[in-house]
Chains A and B, each alone.
Chain A
Amino acid sequence: MEKRAVFKSWWLPIVFALPQLLLILCFFYWPVAAVVNWAFTLEPPFGGPAEFVGFANFQEAFADPFYWNSVVVSLIFAIVGPLFAISIGLVLAIAVDRQLPGSGFFRFLYILPYAIAGPAAGMAFRFILSPERGLAASLNAMWPDIWNPAKYGEHALALVIIIFIWKWSGYTFIFLLAGLQSVPRALGEAAAMDGAGPFRRAIDVQVPLLAPTLFFLLVTMMTEGFVGADTFGIVHAVTEGGPNHGTEVMVYRIVDEAFKGLNYSGASAQSIILIGLIMIFTFIQFRFVEKRVHYK
């Protein structure tokens, strides 16, 4: 939709847009230019100007088994986390949308975890799901080492994914509930007249009509899982990528390699790969989600 634009000043729009554009230039485009530059160059070990090395930094990253480990960890994180978060949100949204007495109370509560920062939630879950105390201690007392995220990489990965799911279920719930409420009531009533009970209606009427919202959430949540600030925050606060690289997601590896390993070129090459990944996700979102059906 294009507005019949209105004012005809050539300098006013520039003045109005300038503050934000300057910030973007300084803190987004300039740094990204530096990332691109670093990704294709290498500082010689004994000083001197950086040399152009082509794709050597990328080849080095690809040759590193720990890089592929981080790709696998990220994939698991960004697939399992969103799937659970969306499923929980969907089931809860369908339940709340039935508008039984008291459901408003639950709706109010379900969104609350979304207010909590990943690291803060992580700190609490380190206690809640700690192997020695909290809820899992009784389990460990019965079966020693059945749950020990400090020792086993798989358990640690499960722990950080659980925190992600906990935080984001309320978010998907909000969107799915909004989606359900935009479905005309008449559709459900017609199905009820034909003898469809609540379960039948949920599966045959509501879920298919939610398909666009579900797809939209899948793409957003997967992007969040790959590069979201919470993904980094949770991993950094709870496991620091360990034990034994078991929770080293791609974003964590990049930041770690840059600031601890001081390997700017390697980190930059990995950044470029991740930016490419985000671009693909954004493209999918706009190519397909923009066309989602509206029930108005």
Chain B
Amino acid sequence: MIQRTPVANAVTYAIMVFGFILLIGPFLVIIAGASQTMQQVNAIPFSFLPDNQFLTNAAQAWKRADLGTAMTNSLIMAVLVTAGKVALSAFTAFAIVFFRSPLKHVFFWSVFITLMLPLEVRVVPTYAVAADLLQPVKSILSLFGGIQIGIDWNLLNSYTGLTLPLIATATGTFLYRQFFMTLPDELAEAARMDGSGPVRFFFDMLLPLSRTNMLALTTIMFVYGWNQYLWPLLMVTDPSYKTVMMSLRSLLPADNGTPDWNVTLAGSLLIMLPPLIVVGVLQRWFVRGLVATEK
């Protein structure tokens, strides 16, 4: 832009710095507090200068909230949820886009409607299904034939239970669908002329072509998986399966105990780190995934 605008430039920088204070300021407070001693962190006025106590505080937080177990569980959960979503939504989108089947609209709409059914509004019965995955089958059977099955398939307190109910994804399916629709029809025709069946076409051509989409989807779904809160909170009672979001609570100082907020902040910082790294390092892909899934 060929225009000299010194005042506007100064205002622009002022706005950007203001945005920095607003959005990054809390991180600075967390970092400062997490590296101070208990006396410093409770001092009034608060000092924004970091000290050298971070490792001590982090070690204490690690022990208090059993973060080793929680981080491992959250990592397993996030990876499984991400892998499941990236794979299953590709399958479904393939079925919707590349086949002349009257069912494709049924597939599309049944996936679409799930967007309107967040976990919070169906939480009790979803829990009931997780407590016994065979419950739907049983109810249907007893409705029709009065047959009773005595087996339960309990998913509570297991990695299957943590991940399986979260794997269905409408956004992922739409992301693939949109991408598949932009591919020229000639691609599939050429593959067919060369004697490739649909399965081979899917694995040898579509998946390699979708790498960009997959990476974008992987970043947003990893963050989604890591940040899950309500579902693990409900279904995990066995401490060996607890996730990081559940251990946040045990990081809080007790109501009448010592106010060691430095430990709390150090622990929170550790819990925030993995998704922060993903968004920081893979930002290009993350933003692409974000913008592409919301169309």
Chain A residues proximal to chain B, CB less than 8 Å: 1, 3-10, 12-14, 16-17, 19-21, 23-35, 38, 88, 91-92, 95-96, 98, 100, 102-103, 106, 108-121, 123-128, 132-135, 137-138, 141, 166, 169-171, 174-175, 178, 188-189, 192, 197-199, 216, 220, 227-229, 232-233, 236-237, 251, 254-255, 258-259, 264, 267-268, 271, 274-275, 278-279, 282
Interface pairs (18), CB distance under 8 Å: A17-B96, A21-B107, A26-B129, A28-B113, A32-B125, A95-B12, A109-B24, A110-B19, A112-B27, A117-B229, A133-B46, A137-B45, A188-B1, A197-B3, A227-B120, A229-B118, A229-B120, A275-B116
Within 8 Å CB of B43, what residues of A?
Answer: 133
Partner of A35, one of B122, B197, B268, B272: B122
1/0 contact string of B110-131 vs chain A (CB within 8 Å): 1101111111111111101110
Say whether B241 faces chain A, with CB atoms less than 8 Å apart: no
Give how many B residues have a beta carbon under 8 Å from the other chain's beta carbons.
Answer: 112
CB closest chain-B residue, reference A11: B101
Within 8 A of A (CB), among B68-125: 88-89, 91-92, 94-101, 103-104, 107, 110-111, 113-125
- Inter-subunit contact A92/B19 (CB<8 Å): yes
A103 to B294, CA, bound (A): 25
- Inter-subunit contact A27/B165 (CB<8 Å): yes
- Inter-subunit contact B168/A92 (CB<8 Å): no
- Inter-subunit contact A13/B291 (CB<8 Å): no
- Inter-subunit contact B29/A134 (CB<8 Å): yes
- Inter-subunit contact B259/A133 (CB<8 Å): yes
Partner of A251, one of B107, B120, B136, B167: B120
The segment from B51-59, B144-152, B181-189, B210-218 that touches chain A is B181-189
| Contact residues of A: prevailing secondary structure | helix
Say whether B143 faces chain A, with CB atoms less than 8 Å apart: no
- Inter-subunit contact B98/A119 (CB<8 Å): no
Say whether B35 faces chain A, with CB atoms less than 8 Å apart: no
- Which of A9, A110, A116, A228 has the most chain B CB atoms inside 10 A of its CB? A116
- Inter-subunit contact A117/B104 (CB<8 Å): no
- Inter-subunit contact A27/B279 (CB<8 Å): no
- Inter-subunit contact B118/A6 (CB<8 Å): no
Min CB distance A13 to B, Å, is: 4
1/0 contact string of B196-208 vs chain A (CB within 8 Å): 0111011000000
- Inter-subunit contact A115/B122 (CB<8 Å): no
Partner of B117, one of A32, A111, A126, A169: A32
A124 to B276, CA, bound (A): 15
- Inter-subunit contact B276/A23 (CB<8 Å): no
Say whether B287 faces chain A, with CB atoms less than 8 Å apart: yes
With contacts A6-B98, A98-B12, A117-B245 taken as known, whether A123 is within 8 angstroms of B268 at the C-beta atoms is yes
- Inter-subunit contact A28/B107 (CB<8 Å): no
Min CB distance A48 to B, Å, is: 17
Chain B residues proximal to chain A, CB less than 8 Å: 1-3, 5, 8-9, 11-13, 15-16, 19-20, 22-24, 26-27, 29-30, 33, 41-46, 88-89, 91-92, 94-101, 103-104, 107, 110-111, 113-126, 128-130, 133, 135-136, 164-165, 167-169, 173, 180-181, 185, 188-189, 192, 197-199, 201-202, 223, 226-230, 233-234, 245, 248-249, 251-252, 259, 261, 264-265, 268, 271-272, 275-276, 278-280, 283, 286-287, 290-291, 294
CB closest chain-B residue, reference A128: B29
Within 8 Å CB of B22, what residues of A?
Answer: 88, 166, 169
- Inter-subunit contact B91/A113 (CB<8 Å): no
With contacts A133-B42, A192-B3, A229-B230 taken as known, whether A24 is within 8 angstroms of B100 at the C-beta atoms is no
A116-B275, A120-B245, A124-B30 known, 12 other contacts, Cβ within 8 Å: A19-B88, A26-B129, A26-B165, A96-B16, A106-B19, A123-B251, A124-B268, A127-B29, A127-B265, A170-B23, A174-B291, A254-B121
